[in-house]
Amino acid sequence: MTVGVAILGATGSIGTSTLRVLERQRDRYRVVALTAHRAHDLVQERAAAWGAPYCATVATDGVECLVAAATHPDAEIVVNAVVGAVGLDATLAALRAGKRVALANKESLVMAGDLVLRTAVDGGGEVVPIDSEHSAVLQCITGHPESLARLTLTASGGPFREWSAERIRGATVAEALCHPTWQMGRKITVDSASLANKALEVIEAHFLFGLSYDAIEVVVHPQSIVHGFVEFVDGSILAQVGHPSMELPILYALTHPERVPDTGIRRFDAVAQGGLTFEAVRRDAFPTFELGVAAGRAGGTAPAAFNAANEVAVAAFLEDGVPFGRIPELIARALDSHAAGPADDLASVLAADRAARACVKEALA
Ligand code: NDP
Ligand code: MG
């Protein structure tokens, strides 16, 4: 009997990689539901190829189709690969329905980490990360999670790793979209250039692994071969290593804690790879990273405000010619006017999200 998988965001970068992984694992999995935003023809084509009983696009069927796919009775695993805050409801609904959520949509955890984890416990579901750094950590701690003391997430440093702060402020869209090591959707690629993505990942790690912010470090590693380091209570450190490809973390999110044979992953050759280097984050050149980590430390609804402000600022950079250097300015403005409060319920989280969006839009008007 195969395991039913629903894929939200089935036409995107992660969605497409997921289908490529599943193609090699057809004896274990079947696709039961797919969603897209606007790519109606592509998602229909993919549903037909897999014989999936449910297929919908948000543009035609409304945003409710995400929850419908996430709670589809034939789905045991929900791959949440939509981009942005719109993914939160589906994550919560799937967990409430007792499903495994293979989570690429890190925004769900950033916005409402406590709520997501509580919903998983109450509903009997579980969150397994797809994000490569968090998959690395999970792979290292599986078997002895209670012995985890600290962790280090790696960052490629993005296209502006060696640029001056001033040059970064004037970066163009084409420059920001030119990622040195990873092929990803546009929004996360811009987040990787500003290091907002790494701040989101620090917050994601805080919730997933229950560590304080003081126990989570970030190091720049331009080759993107080491995905994360885990330090245990006895001082031993384990790292997970491989070529930058999301297919391995996607497969692991489906099979955790087991592993299954897969020939599709490019094998690693240490000698051919050559040197691996590590350097500190240049915090002065990447103010968005600092703002995001500070929002994480502030806790409550601050991470939701950071995420929402970043989404609107990045969309304005991509679509409306707003300078790259304004992204952190707009986020700082939203965080300054953010009314701090607990993130105990969905209403508080969504109110913080709305207020931050409104603040950035007003500044842009
Ligand atoms: P893409 O932009 O490539 O794909 C996004 C997918 O979500 C598409 O299927 C898109 O549909 C759909 N979508 C977009 N907007 C909406 C919306 N408003 N409502 C419903 N569906 C929507 O993104 P990625 O695959 O790169 O990223 C997806 C998530 O995974 C993000 O949270 C990202 O941070 C995370 N992630 C991605 C990694 C990567 O390597 N790409 C690595 C780690 C995490 P359509 O095609 O119709 O527009
Ligand atoms: Mg990542």
What is the model's pLDDT at position 180? Answer: 87
Last residue of a domain, one of 82, 106, 129: 129
Q: Does residue 236 lie in a domain region?
A: no
Distance 27 CA to ligand 2 centre (A): 29
Same domain? 125 vs 143: no
Last residue of a domain, one of 78, 95, 129: 129
Closest ligand to residue 84's CA:
1
Q: Does residue 63 lie in a domain region?
A: yes
Closest ligand to residue 13's CA:
1
Same domain? 209 vs 330: yes
User: What is the number of domains present in the chain?
Assistant: 2
Q: Using 50, 70 and 90 to split pLDDT, how confident is the model at 83?
A: very high
Same domain? 163 vs 204: yes
Same domain? 125 vs 204: no
Same domain? 194 vs 291: yes
> Cα–Cα distance between 295 and 305 in angstroms, integer?
8
Same domain? 30 vs 96: yes
Distance 83 CA to ligand 1 centre (A): 4
Is it the case that residue 93 has pLDDT exceeding 90? yes
Domain residues for the domain of 105 are 3-129
Atom of ligand 1 nearest to the CA of 131: 43
Same domain? 285 vs 162: yes
pLDDT (tens digit per residue) in 279-329: 999 999 999 999 999 999 999 999 999 999 999 999 999 999 999 999 999
Q: Does residue 75 lie in a domain region?
A: yes
Cis peptide before 303 (omega within 30 of 0): no
Is it the case that residue 223 has pLDDT exceeding 90? yes
Q: Does residue 117 lie in a domain region?
A: yes
Last residue of a domain, one of 129, 154, 181: 129
* pTM score: 0.98
Q: Does residue 344 lie in a domain region?
A: yes
Q: Does residue 17 lie in a domain region?
A: yes
What is the model's pLDDT at position 49? Answer: 98
Q: Does residue 318 lie in a domain region?
A: yes
Same domain? 300 vs 160: yes
Q: What is the mean pLDDT of residues 72-96?
A: 98
Residues 7, 18 contacting (CB under 8 angstroms): yes
CATH number at residue 95: 3.40.50.720
Same domain? 153 vs 199: yes
Nearest CA to ligand 1 atom 5: 12
- Classified as helix, coil or strand, 58 is helix
CATH number at residue 151: 1.10.1740.10
Pocket of ligand 1 (CB under 6 A): 9-15, 36-39, 58, 81-83, 86, 104-107, 131, 182, 184-186, 188, 246
Distance 302 CA to ligand 1 centre (A): 23
Is it the case that residue 182 has pLDDT exceeding 90? no
The DSSP 8-state label assigned to residue 86 in this structure reads G
Report H helices in the chain: 13-23, 40-50, 58-61, 64-70, 88-96, 106-123, 132-141, 165-169, 173-176, 186-194, 196-209, 247-255, 270-273, 287-298, 302-320, 326-336, 346-364
Same domain? 61 vs 145: no
Nearest CA to ligand 1 atom 35: 104
Nearest CA to ligand 1 atom 20: 37
Nearest CA to ligand 1 atom 39: 184
> Cα–Cα distance between 294 and 302 in angstroms, integer?
9
Q: Does residue 154 lie in a domain region?
A: yes
